[in-house]
Amino acid sequence: MSLLLFSFPLLTCSGGEKNHSGPRLLKPVELILPESTPIVFVPGYKGSELISSKGKVWLSPSQALAFSSPDLILRENDEIQPGDVLRSVTAIPVLLDVKVYAPWLDRMISEKNWIPYVFPYDWRKDNGDTSSQLELYLAQIKKSNDGKSPVIIGHSNGGTLTLSVLNRRPDLIAKAVFVGAPFRSGIGFMEDLTLDQSTGLNGKIMGPCVASSFISVYTFFPRESSFDTKDVLQNKNGESLPTRFFEASFWKEHELGVFSKTASCNPVPTLTEFQTRLDKARSFRDSLSPKKGTKYPPALVIRSTNRPTLRVLLGSKDAQGWTWDFRASKRVNGDGRVTAESALPPEGLPYELFESELGHSELLNDPKVQSKILEFSGSKL
């Protein structure tokens, strides 16, 4: 869910030293040592570049500086494809150089006993389809490594993709590492679907009407009867409101997201069109429920608990309709995007817990987290 949010001017953005697209091996084959461990990294929401025949549409310097704003609205059969994993975002070289996944990717490459793979993907699309693609990729990796299943590391949305595959095919994963994964969902992403969000100086490229067209984002909201987060909406009196996030009529009746006055989307989707998005998102969320009797591989969960994170959204209704107050809403401990409670897997999946002091987008760049992952994977430090 990320969740990689940039609120500063950008001059250079890097996905890698060369132009790469799609899942790949990070290290030259000739540098791989015998008996090494295959490792697969799955980035989070916004953590993969997107490319088209016209070039990079997420995220180039001109886009970050608002010189151009490619249309990222998700449409059936659009030509946009995943590029590489997003490595870095630079505002001013040396002075303001923000590393996204660069430190973590470099650590993956430098670990001599690892065979490092990455799985960039189009984070706008249905997570169900993406998890199926991930499953096929893991099967290919296992086959190419003489039947040795990989260790998989998923950040944020990449963690929920990993859990979905794990529930279907635990045999494809030797160990799983979940980093800031929004297992239990929440209300935090509603802000992205309601208010303008800036990427660098660009307030158009990822506005609420754009993000609302994505299918993946609705997997960040809770079901009513499940292990998902409860009581995420309240009225001004502090009373919890019933929720039905996977019914299109609920969003329209309560003026949420694309139907809100603040989003100002025109045209808004039909209820039939919107329900189709919700149905796909619900199907994916259902795939996150552990299956009884499944023998799961070892799992490591990494979270942060020292940043205020939106937990309850407050709303009020008058003659003009619903108003949602993000500023006055309730926050609890988390990593700034995922609450501490949401970062814990559902019952039925055993795990080891490790906590970082860094925020959501920085978790994998924490040296302590990197060392813990290396230890957990069986590598020698």
For residue range 133-143, what is the model confidence (pLDDT) as tens digits? 999 999 999 99
Nearest alpha carbon to residue 88 among 75, 79, 98: 98
Helix axes 102-110, 367-377, angle to 10 degrees: 40
Contact 331, 206 (CB under 8 A): no
Q: Residue type at 312?
A: V
pTM over 0.95: no
Of residues 62 and 223, more confidence is placed in 223
Least trusted range by pLDDT, from 69-83, 249-263, 306-320: 69-83
- What is the reported pLDDT for 21? 76
pLDDT at residue 45 in the model: 97
pLDDT of residue 9: 31
Reported confidence tier of residue 196, pLDDT bands at 50, 70, 90: confident
Question: How far apart (Å, rounded) are the C-alpha atoms in residues 213 and 210?
Answer: 6
Q: Which domains occur in the chain, in start order?
A: 12-377 (3.40.50.1820)
Q: Which residues are paired to 310 by β-bridges?
A: 331
pLDDT class of 15 with cuts at 50, 70, 90:
very low
Structure tokens at 63: 């886009």
Q: Is 336 helix (H, G, I), strand (E, B) or coil?
A: coil
Range with the poorest average pLDDT among 113-117, 205-209, 239-243, 275-279: 205-209
Higher pLDDT among residues 64 and 44, named by residue? 44
pLDDT for the residue numbered 70: 80
Closest-CA residue to 189 (of 337, 16, 324, 4): 337
User: Which comes out higher in pLDDT, residue 97 or 285?
Assistant: 285
pLDDT tens, residue by residue, 275-321: 999 999 999 999 999 999 999 999 999 999 999 999 999 999 999 99
